[in-house]
Structure 1
């Protein structure tokens, strides 16, 4: 059973393992924005020390929101952001762009929006298939050498891509989709665990999603009832118990849901309950 509540990213950055994903925070003007500011501040009050954002989240608006809410940042607070995706007029509204000049512009913009001189953890949101990997990571390495980036991570990568990236830069984190209900990325998690790389699962709470295993959903609900907890809390507790390198980053725009998520860090699964959940490999 994994009991450590903290993890040292890159061997240097100590964070509490249960973080906060800011993607869902509304950034438009009005009461919704004020509520978002309060949620971000409440996360820090509750002891969260890892907050995840990205250029893609509102095309910079999410980064600006976090700066408005939290700057000057508390000692020990890590706001990690991602670059490599830009706005597009295409059907998806975005496209890959990790060309060196583009990455540099995105990082400069992130520094300005977050009101910092150095991004302590910068992740490549997606590997750009149209740009050589060495060029993409070489640009981030140059920014690191200039002191504008502290550490480099990746998002949505395979084991092979992770291996190739590690030949170019020191990779300290990987952000892939993973949850109790979606374990497709087990090989990447295993690679991260072997190398001591932080694994930040996005969409960490997937219970109730269309196509979720009915048997696993029922098992989670039963364990939740036994522990007087919610299924979401059980899902997060399972992740924290699954591996010491896992740093879940659940997101929400509701204070009550935030408090519920943070409380999951104190939930303990007995070996028997863990085995009941481990027995399923259902995919969302």
Structure 2
């Protein structure tokens, strides 16, 4: 058993080799995508394939932006993702506060029912959602893209677990001093929950940014397409010119990479905070 202890140098080396191998497997597709985006049409079809940069053809990015309005697609995705993120932060904060601090009959049962919605596949509700959005005339609009995702069971669970880690005495003391529930939530609780809020914000933004099926169903015009739908226009127009397609993929991937690297530490802190008590 001592041989398997983490402090054993051999175990450390094997562990780091395993982590390095996993990192290479995860990064290699991203690396090849960026590399392909800079290759010319003759180089990309050469054999054996190039594993290191041999040219930097920036014209691919210019051609990609001409074939499809990528900046418009990115703007649409940012509007949709930002709207979903803000609404989920609001609704999840209110629901989590109620489940964590407000006493009412059947609270635990209601919370379990709320969590059970996470097991319902989104594909099973997409047609009813589409029929409702179509009936109220919200197809091909930003509100149609945003409204079905304004509430989140995962976000409520995440914030509720964090709120449960905050001493109940803090809430009781605030109530004795005449603090209302709204003021306690906005002035005391939410500032303490910034790691969890940051985690939910990043998670909801990235999840919405990568949506494909719902934007494909709800949008009809090119001006309302999001990045995951609009990028297919490059493949249709350019067909086998994969350097153009990969240039477009890299372009729409850059904003999410910046967001992830900027909020990576906050994301980890939020996911681990409140994980013990619940």
Same fold? TM cut 0.5: no
**Where on the TM-score scale, by shorter chain, does this alignment land: which range?**
under 0.3
Over alpha carbons, which structure has the higher Rg?
Answer: 2
TM-score (norm 1): 0.24
TM-score (norm 2): 0.24
Which one has the bigger helix percentage?
2
Which one has the bigger strand percentage?
1
